[in-house]
């Protein structure tokens, strides 16, 4: 346990994320001084933070495990005349208090990063950036007309981002700008439909997922509920153009061919698809894919499939509860190529338990032989108290080392380049392995980038989301608000009308 005392209840998320990134195996707890006391365990450092942003001062004290301590201060005053403009000065802050907060947060993160880096001898690939969208900063600078070299310098000097990640973030920001150049997107919307059934539940799963064998009897009722939600969405958004559709989950290909036919027909009957540029169906688990199901998808305007091996190492698939073979992945992929003209995405996960960089390299050479159009590289996010964590403790399987994940991420990037795939979107999650990121690579010459991924990541327009656990997003200019459907399946089935009402409140009757 690492205890972090702070003189006021502020910036806990940023402090926690940064300390955790340096000490991934430790629990980190932030608390307000005087309200409670959390003592670091023996062998762990402790930190104390004093924020005096009203006078532009911040002090951090770090006590090493051997008891040695040091204190450093930083200043965070508004920009003086003639001072170099930084990304902080380009952020849309509403008032002087907001600006003070923003500057204080960034100054605190820079100071913390420096002190923790000296203490541990580590440098984090994303430096002091803790947010989910590190491409936001280069994007802001590109919009402000900055030169590439100045943007790279800002990322490496101000935020301590490694040069490799700075170049990646800039490349993605430039690609996203091209992908989103059609300004019409801002006035349209996207549709998400979640199918929460899977052949079995993978140990690392953080999505709504119910093993099909135990919930077969609820599938038709679930499709009824989705159709009710579709009736609402089609009516509310009738004046807006629908640009992308994403059927995710769960595993949509657990539906029988007849159920898939019913779902796709229901979408086509209700929505105007004439502006749709991308229609994705996740076929995440290869053990759910059959020729008959793929033929149904190919008879409808589905353009993109996602077949997700996660790893091509059988020992790993067995360990993480995937219950399918490496050969299943190959067969599902070849079948999909035979059955339709789909862009095929494949997802891999770095940082899976027991996997070395060599295992990842072997997986990547299998994927290179298949040549998907789009490859998404995730870094594993393990939640505290998850089944995955429990399994690792029971079986004594260790979490991959920081260096192993770094080497694996480099292997993945090089393999994607060899396949002619370029990075086009990137986001980070909490508890992500090695403070890394999830990156989508695609064959941009074949127009294979997953447009939905970019639209949702950049909050370009509203996403109306249907199904258990689906989160709808309403984007009005720079304001983003959300409405969440209940995750629990039977609750969703019983309370479908309430879920529709939540969306009605979010969007209003016109979907605006």
Write out the residues near ligand SF4 by the rule CB under 6 A: 198, 201-202, 205, 207, 209, 249-251, 284-285
- Tell me the closest approach of the beta carbon of residue 110 to ligand SF4, in angstroms: 36
Q: How many helices (H) and strands (E) does the chain have?
A: 17, 18
Please give the structure tokens belonging to residue 36. 């409670």
Which residues face 479 on adjacent strands?
A: 476
- Tell me the closest approach of the beta carbon of residue 486 to ligand SF4, in angstroms: 17
- Tell me the closest approach of the beta carbon of residue 139 to ligand SF4, in angstroms: 30
- Tell me the closest approach of the beta carbon of residue 431 to ligand SF4, in angstroms: 15
Q: Which is nearer to ligand SF4, 138 or 351 (CB)?
A: 351
Question: Measured between alpha carbons, how far is 499 from 505 in angstroms, rounded to an integer?
Answer: 10
Q: Which is nearer to ligand SF4, 113 or 333 (CB)?
A: 333
Element (H, E) at 378: strand 374-379
Please give the structure tokens belonging to residue 338. 């035979």
Q: For strand 69-75 and strand 57-63, is the pairing parallel, antiparallel, or unpaired?
A: antiparallel
- Tell me the closest approach of the beta carbon of residue 229 to ligand SF4, in angstroms: 20
Q: Please, is 50 exposed, middle or buried when counting C-beta atoms within 10 Å of its C-beta (0-12, 13-18, 19+)?
A: middle
Q: Please, is 221 exposed, middle or buried when counting C-beta atoms within 10 Å of its C-beta (0-12, 13-18, 19+)?
A: middle
Question: Measured between alpha carbons, how far is 61 from 59 in angstroms, rounded to an integer?
Answer: 7
Burial 107-120 (b: 16+ CB within 10 A, else e): bbbbbbbebbbebe
- Tell me the closest approach of the beta carbon of residue 506 to ligand SF4, in angstroms: 25
Element (H, E) at 224: helix 219-236
Question: Measured between alpha carbons, how far is 392 from 115 in angstroms, rounded to an integer?
Answer: 31
Q: Which is nearer to ligand SF4, 165 or 285 (CB)?
A: 285
Question: Measured between alpha carbons, how far is 236 from 213 in angstroms, rounded to an integer?
Answer: 35
Question: Measured between alpha carbons, how far is 269 from 231 in angstroms, rounded to an integer?
Answer: 10
- Tell me the closest approach of the beta carbon of residue 391 to ligand SF4, in angstroms: 14
- Tell me the closest approach of the beta carbon of residue 419 to ligand SF4, in angstroms: 24
Please give the structure tokens belonging to residue 489. 């399946």
Distance spanning both ends of the chain, measured CA to CA:
47
Give yes or no for a contact between 471 and 479, defined as CB atoms under 8 angstroms apart: no
- Tell me the closest approach of the beta carbon of residue 16 to ligand SF4, in angstroms: 26
**CA triplet 236, 237, 240: central angle to 5 degrees?**
150
- What distances in angstroms separate CA 503 from CA 191, 222, 287, 334, 463, one per listed residue? 13, 18, 34, 40, 11
Question: Measured between alpha carbons, how far is 32 from 9 in angstroms, rounded to an integer?
Answer: 6
- Tell me the closest approach of the beta carbon of residue 8 to ligand SF4, in angstroms: 39
- Tell me the closest approach of the beta carbon of residue 456 to ligand SF4, in angstroms: 17
Q: Which is nearer to ligand SF4, 198 or 483 (CB)?
A: 198
* Contacts of residue 460, Cβ cutoff 8 Å, sequence gap at least 6: 180, 185, 186, 454, 475
């Amino acid at each position: 346990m690492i205890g972090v005392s702070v003189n006021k209840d502020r910036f806990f998320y940023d402090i926690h994320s940064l300390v955790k990134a340096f000490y991934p195996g430790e629990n980190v707890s932030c608390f307000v001084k005087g309200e409670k006391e959390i003592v670091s365990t023996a062998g762990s450092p402790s930190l104390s933070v004093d924020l005096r942003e009203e006078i532009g001062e911040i002090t951090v004290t770090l006590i090493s495990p051997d008891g040695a301590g040091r204190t450093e201060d930083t200043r965070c005053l508004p920009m003086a005349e003639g001072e170099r403009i930084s990304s902080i000065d380009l952020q849309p802050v509403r008032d002087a208090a907001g600006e003070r907060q923003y500057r204080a947060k960034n100054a605190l993160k820079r100071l913390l990063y420096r002190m923790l880096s000296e203490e541990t001898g580590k440098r984090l690939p994303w430096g002091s950036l803790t947010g989910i969208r590190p491409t936001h900063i280069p994007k802001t600078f590109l919009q402000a007309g900055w030169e590439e070299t100045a943007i790279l310098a800002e990322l490496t000097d101000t935020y301590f981002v490694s040069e490799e990640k700075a170049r990646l973030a800039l490349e993605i920001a430039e690609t996203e700008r091209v992908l989103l150049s059609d300004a019409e997107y801002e006035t349209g919307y996207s549709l998400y439909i979640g199918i929460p059934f899977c052949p079995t539940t993978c140990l690392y799963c953080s999505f709504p997922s119910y093993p099909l064998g135990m919930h077969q009897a609820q599938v038709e009722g679930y499709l009824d509920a989705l159709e009710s939600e579709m009736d609402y969405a089609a009516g509310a958004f009738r004046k807006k153009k629908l640009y992308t559709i994403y059927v995710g989950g769960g595993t949509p290909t657990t539906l029988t061919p007849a159920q898939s036919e019913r779902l796709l027909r229901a979408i086509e009957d209700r929505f105007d698809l004439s502006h749709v540029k991308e229609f994705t169906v996740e076929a995440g688990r290869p053990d759910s894919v059959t020729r008959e199901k793929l033929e149904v998808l190919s008879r409808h305007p589905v353009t993109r499939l996602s077949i997700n091996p996660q790893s091509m190492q059988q020992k790993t698939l067995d360990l993480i509860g995937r219950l399918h073979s490496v050969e299943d992945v190959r067969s599902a992929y070849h079948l999909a190529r035979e059955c339709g003209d789909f862009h095929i995405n494949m997802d891999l996960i770095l940082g899976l338990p027991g996997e070395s960089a060599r295992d990842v390299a072997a997986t990547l050479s299998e994927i290179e032989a298949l040549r998907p159009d789009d490859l998404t590289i995730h870094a594993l996010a393990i939640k505290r108290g998850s089944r995955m964590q429990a399994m690792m403790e029971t079986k004594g399987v260790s979490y991959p080392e920081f260096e192993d994940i770094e080497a694996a991420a480099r292997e993945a990037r090089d393999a994607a380049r060899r396949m002619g795939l370029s990075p086009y979107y990137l986001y980070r999650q909490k508890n992500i392995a090695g403070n890394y990121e999830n990156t989508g690579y695609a064959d941009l010459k074949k127009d294979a980038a997953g447009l939905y991924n970019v639209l949702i990541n950049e909050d370009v327009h509203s996403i109306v989301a249907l199904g258990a656990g689906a989160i709808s997003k309403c984007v009005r200019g720079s304001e983003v608000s959300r409405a969440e459907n209940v995750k629990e399946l039977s609750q969703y089935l019983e309370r479908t009308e309430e879920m529709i009402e939540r969306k009605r409140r979010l969007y209003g009757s016109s979907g605006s």
